[in-house]
Amino acid sequence: MIEGLSSQPKSLPPKYFYDSKGSQLFDQICRLPEYYLTRTETAILERVGSAISQITGPCEIAELGSGSATKTRLLLDAYEAADYPLRYIPVDVSGSALTESSKLLLQGYPTLSIYGLVSTYETALKALPPKSLPARMIAFIGSTIGNLRPDECGDLLARISGTLDPGDYFLLGLDLQKEISVLESAYNDSQGVTAAFNLNMLSHLNQRFEGDFKLNNFAHVAQYNKQDNQIEMYLSSLEAQTAWLNVLGLTVEFEEGDRILSEISRKFSLDEIKKTLSAHQLSVVQAFTDEKQWFGLLLCQRRS
């Protein structure tokens, strides 16, 4: 990670958003009026969950970045309604989010079996338990894929595809390109929750690495980059300052206006992502979207 703080421009991996406070703030973001992503994807899942279950048949769900697993319930509901066995393999870097969501799911679905992995995606894909139903679906929803640069995205898709058996499924949820004002409002909400979420990354680093970032000395910035079709979130230094991360023995110097890139959130075109998927042996079986075409949910299948 920490090369990112010593390089110019400075950057940090978005997984550092998600300590327990960060996971809570993200859930709050999902309910913001400006943050259309979760609401739109939820509506799609409500509408097409049973279609997905009909296509896949009995199928276990391994979810990368499961978080609170609220949307996952819609898939579980569909598989439950079809009388299929329920098996769920959540993967998340936040242990607290994983434990809490699993507890709630087990209460709600008496027949559900869960095998959770507190882990990064790369490690988890190597550590998945043996398949115990006729098919497996790797779910990567919520547009988490938008956090990955094209090279990282290619790497992860290659790993996912390599993990799946031919005929297995990949469910990808992704945010689509749209009017810039809509995008920028979603990451600059009027209640300042996104700002708190962004700044919380510094407080997470302070705890994790005995750091001394002063949160008041940084401002949240989110803007759309038209060339790269992505929202970029920064932590912008309000003054010249130095921070120290004791565990890493790392000093980080800032000039006034110096920024740390804390997240990219890419916005996709369906044609482009279909090509990328196909390059990794993943064929789109069905592409679901909303009326406005704001969000895409792609059910893919691993080719042989």
Q: Which residues sit at the interface with ligand AVJ, rule CB under 6 A?
A: 29, 37, 142-144, 146-147, 187, 194, 197, 263, 265
User: Which DSSP category does 211 fall into?
Assistant: B
Tell me which residue of 123, 114, 109, 74 sits closest to 90, measured CA to CA: 114
Looking at the Cβ atoms of 50 and 276, the one nearer to ligand AVJ is 276
Closest residue to ligand AVJ, Cβ-based? 265
Q: 270 or 285: whose CB is closer to ligand AVJ?
A: 270
Cα angle vertex 197, ends 254, 264, to 5°? 70
Q: State the DSSP code for 108.
A: H
Contact by Cβ (8 Å): 206, 31: no
Q: Which is nearer to ligand AVJ, 1 or 81 (CB)?
A: 1
Question: Minimum CB separation from ligand AVJ for residue 175, in Å?
Answer: 7
3-state secondary structure of 96: helix
Judged by beta carbon, residue 146 or residue 296, the one nearer ligand AVJ is 146
As a whole number of angstroms, the distance between CA 263 and CA 13 comes to 7
Q: Residue 90 pairs with which residues in a beta bridge?
A: 63
Give the β-pairing of 295-302 and 282-289.
antiparallel
Question: Which of these, 134, 109, 129, lies nearest to 119 by C-alpha position?
Answer: 129
User: Which pairing describes strands 10-11 and 117-118: parallel, antiparallel, or unpaired?
Assistant: unpaired
Report in angstroms how near the CB of residue 300 gets to ligand AVJ at its nearest: 19
Radius of gyration of the chain (CA): 19
Write down the least CB distance from residue 247 to ligand AVJ, Å: 26
How far apart are the C-alpha atoms of 13 and 2, rounded to whole Å?
A: 9
Residue 79 or 268: the one with the smaller Cβ distance to ligand AVJ is: 268
Q: Which is nearer to ligand AVJ, 237 or 265 (CB)?
A: 265
Tell me the HSE value of 118 on the side-chain side, using a 13 A CA sphere: 12
Q: State the minimum distance, in angstroms, from the CB of residue 138 to ligand AVJ.
A: 17
Q: C-beta of 225: minimal distance to ligand AVJ in Å?
A: 13
The smaller minimum CB distance to ligand AVJ, of residues 86 and 176, is found at 176
Least Å from the CB of residue 26 to ligand AVJ: 6
Distance in Å, CB of 97 to ligand AVJ, minimum: 12
Q: 268 - beta bridge partners?
A: 176
